[in-house]
Structure 1
Amino acid sequence: MDNPKWPYFDPDYETTCSSFNSPRVTVETEASENATIVKVNSANRHGILLNVVQVLTDLDLTITKSDIFHDLGWFMDVFHVVDSNGNKALDKQTCDHIMNSLGYRTRREQFSADSLRRSTGLTVADHTVIELTGPDRPGLLSELSAVLTRLECNVNAAEVWTHNLRAASIVYFTDSSTGRPITNQSKLDYIKEQLSRVMKGDHDEEVARCKIEYATEITHVERRLHQLMYDDRANEVPDRSGNMQGRPAIHIKRNERGYSVVSIHCKDRPKLLFDIVCTLTDMQYVIYHALINFPGSETSQEFFIRHVNGCTLDTAAEQHLKACLEAAISRRTSEGLRLELCMNDRVGLLSDVTRIFRENGLSVARADITTRHDKAINVFYVVDASGRPVNMKVVEAMRETIGSSLEVKGLPRSEPELPSTKLSLGGLFRNIYGLTNITWRSTATA
């Protein structure tokens, strides 16, 4: 299929058009016994589906069913959503938030709607932000946090993902003495140098990247992590394990109407739809139609897509898309024993806790870190660094060191031993204080 030539449009046209065709959002709580139904009708634009899914996901709502239709310049979607406990989302504040976040008319109103997601607590303008990508290894989180503590940096929020021996992270920090962002360029350069050295480890300089940023506008943190890991894919070690158990089944075929049909069947988990839609959108694919069904622990999803240039996928593009979708689905997986820690926050707390984990032979596979009213409310998923099940005697010994504020939630994994190469950082620190939306401007070259 030849690439079509699109006509030129004045950039101001989109804002004018949006004013006349603003999204119409309805939230129905009585139409279904088992779910709240969210309907969105709007003039179509690239990325609008991702924005809707992002809003619902950030509210910890689970999409159990969806019918998506994008065609003829119009966007019409129906989402069946439940809360984290599987109940209907009847809370008026939640319904109002959905309406306010999606029912904007102009870009300015969209900016204000997105800002609602970070209205409770710290703002991104109060932090220095650093992006890190490089080879993963056990103890990496402990080493990074120790360096930041030594350099008098207080980590207020961060998120770290790992997949296939690679790690990507975004860390928010301030000067521990002033509580403000670090603006001294020489100190920023030194921080970058030290963190780059840790990320590189025993590898060549080319495999690690460190970039210091100021957070200015709006880009979703988890979307940014997907982008970082996608950009870093050239350094990934191919997965040659041959273990198909638990891996998503992805099939792509072309139909007679000129769409590439992407079918995905895999285990369901929170934020799965967001990860898939985010990957398709950032790879410049337009989702024209989709059918999403979550019958239980498994999910089946079907997307009718074309590239933004109007073309369907050739064979090479199909294989590339399959690999990227599988990586996006697999990289956000919680492994290991769940530990919850709630105690008074202080500078260096993260460094001390992860050091204790490392000294007891445990690695952090994933963690969610928040701070509310000077309280650190942390969730860690830990695994034995050698791949064996976590020894509960070790956990009890750590509780004696850290205190009774460390609680065990859940049981150790009874599955077969995991390769030690996969057991290090995990995905750390989700969206503290609503810090889920930022755009990145470099203040130190990568």
Structure 2
Amino acid sequence: MKLAVVGGGSTYTPELIDGFARLRDVLPLEELVLIDPAADRLDLVGGLARRIFAKQGHPGKISWTADLDAGVDGTDAVLLQLRVGGQAARRQDETWPLECGCVGQETTGAGGLAKALRTVPLVLDIADRVRRRNPDAWIVDFTNPVGIVTRALLTAGHKAVGLCNVAIGFQRKFANLLGVTPEEVFLEHVGLNHLTWERAVRLGGPDGEDVLPRLIAEHGDAIADDLRMPRSLVERLGVVPSYYLRYFYQHDAVVRELRTKPSRASEVAGMEKKLLEMYGDPALDEKPELLSKRGGAFYSEAAVALTSSLLRERGRDEAGEVQVVNTFNNGTLPFLPDDAVIEVPATVDGGGAKPLPVRPLEPLYSGLIANITAYEQLALEAALKGGRDRVFEALLAHPLIGQIDYAEKLTDDLIAHNREHLKWA
């Protein structure tokens, strides 16, 4: 089995490598290729990756290259974890929207749209090149904004599934609070990427006992602290929202907070500098503790599980394996178009991902999901076709913006800050 990681020079990569090494019985990897145009970073990350495999006794071969076509040749699956423009572009996404009093964040609002416009064309080019060389290869997308990028891939006919670590993070946290194994915890996780709610936490599977009320009653403070939202909100809703919902439920408070501290991109850039220095130490043969503060917790476990399921023979397990993924709606949420991309539990096997049925959603959640889905459709059209008017319409449709004056200014700012990445600008 051969895998390729596009964006392999990321400081995230040792987390992924550690998972491949530990979980080699789940994903029997024979060859791994790290692909990245940043040769200096790639050498550091690749060297550490080989040392991690060697320490843990993994027999797989690791190589790295800046040549995408050569790197993906013969692969069974390709993982995408790239960031167009690097942390410098992210820093802009997190700052210029604040001038309008709008949240500055890399996956939602105006900053999220900017990232989508930079990212979608490049990802589609990569996917086309993968398909020309390996028409049967799967693409696992971890590149943000995952929902929009995955919708672009699926709409273009690629064999793709989107992946996020939010659900697996909740699963691990809840399992720890309950004193059970993660495999015993099934989440009724529903929504769009970075716009989800845990509506039930069931023990033993989809039909198991719902222990979410007990979790909230006994561990409400800990859960609310992780979300950085009031416990009273969690108790009132009776669900656990993703921490990304804070940008919606407490927008103005978040804007005031972001204006008084360094951007997350600045913090991450500092971490990355230290991490790359560590990766260059020939004595280092495991992922450093600092990496846990970089983000992406449990990404490797989720990636291994999803890739393993996708590379199984179709029909080997009639029920497939249940995992939370981003895939086409196809009637799962009846108030959304079939080609919307949703984030829900799905059975996954060699034939792809098929969402499990979802209980009817309350208007409090379905309304926001429908609104953001409409925005994502407009965002994808802007990314594919370009044009100032399309950018404006996407911003006007976003519930965190939604005013003419804001949308006009943010459109001009977005284009000005991203001109080098927008062929049409």
Could you tell me the TM-score, scaled by structure 1's length? Answer: 0.22
- More strand, by proportion: 1
- More helix, by proportion: 2
Could you tell me the TM-score, scaled by structure 2's length? Answer: 0.23
